[in-house]
């Protein structure tokens, strides 16, 4: 078996670390989906996870806010520290974790409720806001998600009537309204057309001053366009069981990954000769 | 071959036509026997009731009987059936599910006559008597509770189907903003499945009203009785009134006391059919949503 | 946004809300009561049945109905239920299967055919007692020359009509789940529609069809209301003949449950009723097991091992 050592970049002095992940292994039953991933995520940056399908990038992403808790067979080993707190400590309340580390999913998944109710949902849960404050929270979230002007006259209309791109921005607004610290995005544009994709990408640039963002994407151009840092994952075939396990090859500044990566496999992938 | 197979399918249409024909013809015979005197159907005497052999056919007596026992049944079946469905669909670990789900299916397969026995020999002496001490061991509460047990599996399985039809992505969206499982269940999953749950309720109600054996065995009246409302009194359902008119003690199958069974049957048929059709429409509406 | 001031205790707030505790507790109570009602019901039948079997042994199966629980058996009931089961297998299953094949494989989606399907769904929701009214008029009345009135034949016919919609609906579901590729493969070698149906579609759908058959049979064996309507005997002396007066196990349970338990004898009528109920449950469970075994056999054939 080839031993892969993830290359750790030197950290820039001014950015502080949000996530510090060490020796992360994820199993689905007997099957090891991710092996020995170690990396740091910086605050107020956009980090992109790229790699061929099956490389475990979504699996790793879902470890960061304990979304894997809902998969019966999933087991997580290693350390996932969020601002120095171990997220897999048995003392941790996973709902509190997801309030701070929100998630936007591959397919837009608005609730079959009104636009207003969708955005207000998470904010109401926290119980931190009064009724008038909720209205404000919803408006701000929709403004931040660049959706306000399109929907302000029909907040009571069903969210299912919006276009795909609008639905995805609504999901981002729903996430923002909870005032999280980190937003995880799992291929948020894969179901959208290029114009809607461009709007989401602009939006990410807008909001990165307020949030740390991690985006999983299968689209290398997107990673190159939007992210400050990029992590490249790939698959390794176990010769004994012929099963694929995801490994983190390297994580570095996006410019470096796409121009002069340290690992040959990264270069093959980003130049389109593999994957 | 096509004609043979098609003929088999047509049999079902013939069956429906025959059911309607038999019920209508019998109902008309009944009205002819009572001389088209519709006033007889609402007994306005001081002690109204259903006494077919004395030619007193107070419809309210048996309709109320069906409603009271149906209501009691749903009071049992809704919390147990819906609760079981939510547990199975949202909370149960696979291991528990593998036990609970077949158990619910077994309960669904218990013949109603056995549930009737259970009502008489367990629910009456061990639950209703010690708590409520009714005058009669057989009463509407005993029968209603047993009918409830009978329709719990119907409620549970249709509700579970509706809950499982709610896309996983909606639950993830809710968890993604930090909602608890309970909040997600109550605020997202249940509202999304509400039309399926309403349909389950209607279908279960229709079954409860159409249930015959438990009502006949445990309801407490053999073919006649006064108009009552209290669940602790013996009562008579439309279905039990029918079996008593058909069999009963006197074998004379003629005259209004016998023919009334067709009229009651027609009423029951229209009632259950309407409920089923409403449920069907509600179900189709929720299929369109996703 | 500046660095988040985060104390680890914020994330460790594991205090459960009252709402989630109430919901979790409520659900557990609901499931417990559902399971408990099944368990208590089965336990009740079982414990009440034991004295009857201990007292009567196999005589309980082979004796005819008597005037006292101590000398009563269920043989005529078994005979009647057996006749009903055979009738359903011979009549309702082929008829229902044929209708299911027609509606899935032959019928075009015309307005009339849609009506036929809606009608079948409605028939499935018609209360059993109404099928009893139908049986009373058609099979006991009109067809008296064939059935000789309220006989086992009339009962088998009535219950066949009752379970027909169940067989058709499950049959249609089974046939619908057959992959289109299988049909196309058949047509591709020049088979006719009927040949494709007979040789490929029905064998592939067999597990589902069997499930429907078992379901229908169990239901037919357990129904009592239609039997009351067509005049099954609940008293003494039903004959074990196809055209004479008859009874069936559910009728015995119905009748014996209602009789008072006189003091004296070693067992009461409620013991006899429970024992008859146990026999009925064992029969239904046996059918279900046979269905599971047959289904596994057909499923094995399907994957070709």
Q: Tell me the pLDDT tens digit for each residue of C205-251.
A: 998 999 899 989 999 999 999 999 998 776 666 667 777 788 999 99
A3 touches chain C (CB under 8 A): no
The mean pLDDT of chain C is 87
At C1 the pLDDT is 38
A44 touches chain C (CB under 8 A): yes
pLDDT confidence band for B39 (50 / 70 / 90): confident
C28 domain-assigned: no
Listed residue (A226, A116, A227, A132) closest to A177, CA to CA? A116
Chain B (30-49) residues lying within 8 Å, Cβ to Cβ, of chain C: none
Which of C3, C4, C13 is opposite residue A93, by nearest beta carbon? C13
What is the distance between the alpha carbons of residues B239 and B268, in angstroms, rounded to a whole number? Answer: 8
B242 touches chain C (CB under 8 A): yes
Which range is most confident: A91-100, A223-232, B239-248, C138-147?
A223-232
| Residue A239: partners with Cβ closer than 8 Å, 6 or more residues away | A1
The dihedral of CA C42, C45, C51, C54: what is its sign? negative
Share of chain C above pLDDT 70, in %: 91
Which of A72, A122, A175 is opposite residue B179, by nearest beta carbon? A122
Higher pLDDT, B210 or C9: B210
What is the distance between the alpha carbons of residues C95 and C112, in angstroms, rounded to a whole number? Answer: 20
At A54 the pLDDT is 83
User: Is C47 a residue whose pLDDT tops 90?
Assistant: yes
What is the distance between the alpha carbons of residues A162 and C25, in angstroms, rounded to a whole number? Answer: 38
At C67 the pLDDT is 79
- Secondary structure (3-state) at A62: helix
Q: Do B173 and A72 touch (CB under 8 A)?
A: no
Q: Could you give the maximum distance between any two Cα atoms of chain B, in Å? A: 71
Listed residue (C78, C80, C76, C56) closest to C68, CA to CA? C56
Query: How many domains would you assign to chain B?
Result: 1
Mean pLDDT of all residues in B101-122: 93
What is the distance between the alpha carbons of residues C59 and C53, in angstroms, rounded to a whole number? Answer: 9
Q: Are A131 and A123 in contact (CB under 8 A)?
A: no
At C13 the pLDDT is 65
The mean pLDDT of chain B is 91
At A232 the pLDDT is 94
**A234: β partners:** A247
At C43 the pLDDT is 96
Share of chain B above pLDDT 70, in %: 96
In chain A, which residue's Cα lies nearest the Cα of C8? A85
C40 domain-assigned: no
The whole-angstrom distance between B166's CA and the closest CA on chain A is 10
pTM of the model: 0.89
- The length of chain C in residues reads 305
The whole-angstrom distance between B102's CA and the closest CA on chain C is 11
Q: Any idea which residue has 């605020």 for tokens?
A: B187
* ipTM score assigned to the predicted complex: 0.93
In chain B, which residue's Cα lies nearest the Cα of A177? B177
pLDDT confidence band for C184 (50 / 70 / 90): confident
At A184 the pLDDT is 95
CATH of the domain at B266: 1.10.3720.10
Query: Which residues of A fall within a CB distance of 8 Å from B187?
Result: 121
**A47: β partners:** A214, A229
CATH of the domain at C220: 1.10.3720.10
At C170 the pLDDT is 95
At A6 the pLDDT is 47
User: Is B252 a residue whose pLDDT tops 50?
Assistant: yes
User: Is C53 a residue whose pLDDT tops 80?
Assistant: yes
What is the distance between the alpha carbons of residues A125 and A168, in angstroms, rounded to a whole number? Answer: 21
pLDDT confidence band for B170 (50 / 70 / 90): very high
The whole-angstrom distance between B259's CA and the closest CA on chain C is 11
Q: Do C11 and A100 touch (CB under 8 A)?
A: yes
What is the distance between the alpha carbons of residues A141 and A119, in angstroms, rounded to a whole number? Answer: 8
Q: Do B172 and A175 touch (CB under 8 A)?
A: no
Q: Do C14 and A85 touch (CB under 8 A)?
A: no
C52 domain-assigned: no
In chain B, which residue's Cα lies nearest the Cα of A108? B169
Can you name the CATH fold of A17-270? Rossmann fold (3.40.50)
Question: What torsion, rounded to 10 degrees, do the Cα atoms A122, A123, A126, A132 define?
Answer: -150
B173 touches chain A (CB under 8 A): yes
CA distances from A126 to A76, A122, A198, B217, C11 (A): 27, 7, 32, 54, 13
pLDDT digits (tens, 9 = 90+) for C88-131: 999 999 999 999 999 999 998 899 999 999 999 999 999 999 99
| Residue A200: partners with Cβ closer than 8 Å, 6 or more residues away | A165, A168, A169, A172, A188, A189, A192
At B2 the pLDDT is 87
Higher pLDDT, C284 or C97: C97
Chains that touch C (3 or more CB pairs under 8 A): A, B
Q: Are A123 and A134 in contact (CB under 8 A)?
A: yes
Identify the residue among A85, A181, A208 best suited for mutation to test binding to C, counting C beta carbons within 10 A and taking the highest: A85
Listed residue (C126, C137, C135, C129) closest to C160, CA to CA? C135
- Secondary structure (3-state) at A9: coil
pLDDT confidence band for C6 (50 / 70 / 90): low
Q: Any idea which residue has 């201990």 for tokens?
A: C54
- The length of chain B in residues reads 290
What is the distance between the alpha carbons of residues C117 and C96, in angstroms, rounded to a whole number? Answer: 13
Half-sphere exposure of B146 toward its Cβ, with a 13 Å CA cutoff?
Answer: 35
Mean pLDDT of all residues in B173-201: 93
Higher pLDDT, B263 or C190: B263
B92 touches chain A (CB under 8 A): no
Query: How many domains would you assign to chain C?
Result: 1
Listed residue (A189, A104, C25, A159) closest to B192, CA to CA? A159
Higher pLDDT, C303 or A122: A122
Query: Which residues of C fall within a CB distance of 8 Å from B181?
Result: 20
Q: Are A161 and A169 in contact (CB under 8 A)?
A: no
A-C contacts at Cβ under 8 angstroms: 32
- What tokens does A174 get? 């729903």
User: Is C4 a residue whose pLDDT tops 50?
Assistant: no
Listed residue (B94, B225, B193, B100) closest to B152, CA to CA? B100
pLDDT confidence band for B250 (50 / 70 / 90): very low
Buried b (16+ CB within 10 A) or exposed e, A12-31: eeebebbbbbeebbbbeeee
Q: Do A125 and B178 touch (CB under 8 A)?
A: yes
Chains that touch A (3 or more CB pairs under 8 A): B, C
- Secondary structure (3-state) at B50: strand
Q: Do B91 and C27 touch (CB under 8 A)?
A: yes
Q: Any idea which residue has 């994407």 for tokens?
A: A217
Quickly list H helices, C67-151: 75-87, 93-101, 111-124, 128-135, 144-147
Q: Are B117 and C269 in contact (CB under 8 A)?
A: no
Identify the residue among A91, A98, A128, A176 best suited for mutation to test binding to C, counting C beta carbons within 10 A and taking the highest: A91
Which of C11, C13, C14 is opposite residue A85, by nearest beta carbon? C11
CA distances from B75 to B63, B123, C1 (A): 18, 16, 54
Q: Do A122 and B177 touch (CB under 8 A)?
A: yes
The dihedral of CA B71, B75, B77, B82: what is its sign? positive
Per-residue confidence in pLDDT tens, chain A, 275 aa: 444 444 444 444 456 889 999 999 999 988 889 999 999 999 999 999 999 888 889 999 999 999 988 888 889 999 999 988 899 988 888 888 998 999 999 999 999 889 999 999 988 887 778 888 999 999 999 998 889 999 999 999 999 999 999 999 999 999 999 889 999 999 999 888 899 899 999 999 989 888 999 999 988 899 999 999 999 999 988 777 778 899 999 999 999 999 889 998 999 898 887 65
At A275 the pLDDT is 55
Q: Around Cβ C46, how many Cβ atoms within 10 Å?
A: 14
Q: Do B280 and C119 touch (CB under 8 A)?
A: no
Instruction: Identify the domain containing residue B148 by its residue range.
Output: 2-289
Q: Are A267 and A261 in contact (CB under 8 A)?
A: yes
Q: Do A112 and B191 touch (CB under 8 A)?
A: yes
In chain B, which residue's Cα lies nearest the Cα of C232? B247
Q: Do C99 and B11 touch (CB under 8 A)?
A: yes
Quickly list H helices, chain A: 57-63, 94-100, 115-126, 131-144, 148-151, 164-177, 194-207, 220-226, 254-259, 264-270
Lowest mean pLDDT among B200-209, B278-287, C157-166: B278-287
Higher pLDDT, B46 or A27: A27
Which of C3, C4, C12 is opposite residue A93, by nearest beta carbon? C12
Lowest mean pLDDT among B4-13, B20-29, C111-120, C179-188: C179-188
Domain ranges in chain A are 17-270
Between CA C30 and CA C38, with CA C32 as vertex, the angle to 5 degrees is: 105
């Amino acid at each position: 078996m080839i031993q892969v050592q993830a290359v750790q970049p030197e950290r820039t002095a001014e950015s502080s670390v949000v996530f510090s992940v060490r020796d992360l292994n994820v199993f689905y039953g007997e099957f090891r989906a991710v092996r020995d991933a170690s990396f740091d995520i910086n605050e107020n940056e956009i980090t992109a996870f790229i790699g061929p399908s099956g490389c475990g990038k979504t699996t790793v992403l879902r470890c960061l806010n304990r979304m894997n808790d809902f998969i019966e067979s999933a087991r997580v080993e290693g350390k996932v520290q969020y601002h120095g707190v171990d997220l897999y400590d048995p003392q941790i309340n996973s709902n509190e974790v997801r309030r701070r580390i929100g998630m936007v999913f591959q397919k837009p998944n608005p609730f079959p409720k009104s636009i207003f109710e969708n955005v207000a949902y998470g904010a109401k849960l926290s119980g931190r806001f009064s009724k008038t404050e909720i209205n404000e929270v919803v408006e701000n979230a929709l403004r931040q998600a660049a959706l306000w002007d399109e929907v302000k006259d029909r907040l009571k209309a069903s969210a299912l009537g919006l276009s795909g791109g609008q639905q995805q921005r609504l999901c981002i607004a729903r996430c923002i309204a909870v005032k999280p610290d980190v937003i995880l995005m799992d291929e948020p544009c894969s179901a959208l057309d290029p114009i809607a994709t461009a709007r989401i990408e602009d939006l990410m640039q807008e909001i990165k001053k307020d949030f740390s963002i991690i985006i999983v994407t299968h689209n290398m151009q997107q990673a190159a366009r939007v992210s400050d840092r990029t992590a490249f994952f790939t698959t390794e075939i176990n010769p004994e069981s012929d099963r694929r396990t995801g490994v983190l090859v390297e994580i570095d500044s996006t410019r470096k990954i796409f121009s002069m990566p340290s690992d040959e496999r990264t270069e093959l992938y980003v130049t389109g000769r593999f994957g | 071959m096509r004609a043979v197979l098609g003929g088999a399918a047509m049999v079902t249409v013939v069956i429906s036509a025959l059911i309607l024909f038999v019920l209508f013809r019998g109902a008309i015979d009944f009205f002819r026997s009572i001389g088209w005197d519709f006033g007889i159907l609402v007994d306005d005497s001081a002690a109204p009731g259903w006494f077919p052999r004395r030619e007193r056919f107070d419809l309210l007596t048996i309709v109320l009987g069906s409603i009271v026992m149906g209501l009691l049944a749903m009071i049992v079946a809704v919390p147990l059936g819906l609760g079981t469905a939510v547990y199975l669909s949202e909370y149960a670990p696979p291991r528990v599910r593998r036990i609970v789900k077949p158990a619910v299916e077994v309960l669904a397969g218990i013949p109603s006559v056995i549930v009737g026995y259970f009502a008489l020999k367990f629910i009456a002496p061990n639950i209703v008597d010690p708590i409520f001490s009714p005058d009669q061991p057989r009463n509407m509460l005993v029968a209603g509770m047993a009918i409830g047990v009978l329709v719990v599996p119907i409620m549970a399985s249709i509700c579970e189907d509706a809950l499982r039809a709610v896309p996983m992505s909606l639950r993830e969206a809710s968890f993604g903003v930090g909602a608890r499982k309970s909040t997600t269940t109550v605020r997202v999953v249940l509202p999304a499945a509400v039309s399926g749950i309403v349909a389950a309720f209607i279908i279960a109600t229709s079954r409860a009203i159409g249930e015959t054996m438990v009502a006949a065995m445990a309801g407490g009246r053999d073919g006649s009785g006064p108009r009552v409302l209290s669940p602790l009194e013996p009562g008579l359902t439309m279905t039990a009134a029918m079996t008593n008119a058909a069999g009963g003690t006197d074998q004379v199958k003629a005259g209004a006391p016998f023919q009334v069974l067709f009229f009651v049957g027609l009423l029951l048929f229209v009632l259950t059919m309407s409920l089923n059709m409403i449920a069907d429409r509600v179900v189709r509406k929720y299929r369109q949503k996703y | 946004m500046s660095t988040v001031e985060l104390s680890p205790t914020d994330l460790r707030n594991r205090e459960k809300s009252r709402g989630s505790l109430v919901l979790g507790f409520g659900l557990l109570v609901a499931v417990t009561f559902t399971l408990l009602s099944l368990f208590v019901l089965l336990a009740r039948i079982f414990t009440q049945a034991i004295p009857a079997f201990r007292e009567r042994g196999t005589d309980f199966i082979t004796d005819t109905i008597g005037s006292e629980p101590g000398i009563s058996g269920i043989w005529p009931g078994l005979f009647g239920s057996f006749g009903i089961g055979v009738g359903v297998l011979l009549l309702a299953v082929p008829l229902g299967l044929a209708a299911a094949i027609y509606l899935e494989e032959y019928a075009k989606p015309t307005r009339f055919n849609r009506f036929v399907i809606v009608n079948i769904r409605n028939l499935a929701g018609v209360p059993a007692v109404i099928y009893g009214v139908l049986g009373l008029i058609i099979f006991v009345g009109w067809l008296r020359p064939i059935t000789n009135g309220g006989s086992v034949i009339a009962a088998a016919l009535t219950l066949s009509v009752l379970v027909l919609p169940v067989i058709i609906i499950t049959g249609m579901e089974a046939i619908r789940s057959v992959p289109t590729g299988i049909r196309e493969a058949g047509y591709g070698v020049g088979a006719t529609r009927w040949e494709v149906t007979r040789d490929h579609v029905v064998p592939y759908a067999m597990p589902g069809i069997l499930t429907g058959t078992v379901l229908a049979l169990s239901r037919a064996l357990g129904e009592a209301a239609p039997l009351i309507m067509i005049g099954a005997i609940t008293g003494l002396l039903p004959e074990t003949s196809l055209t004479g007066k008859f009874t069936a196990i559910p009728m015995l349970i119905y009748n014996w449950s209602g009789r008072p338990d006189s003091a004296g004898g070693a067992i009461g009528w409620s013991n006899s009723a429970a024992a008859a109920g146990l026999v009925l449950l064992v029969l239904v469970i046996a059918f279900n097991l046979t269905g599971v075994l047959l289904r596994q056999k057909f499923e094995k054939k399907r994957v070709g091992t």
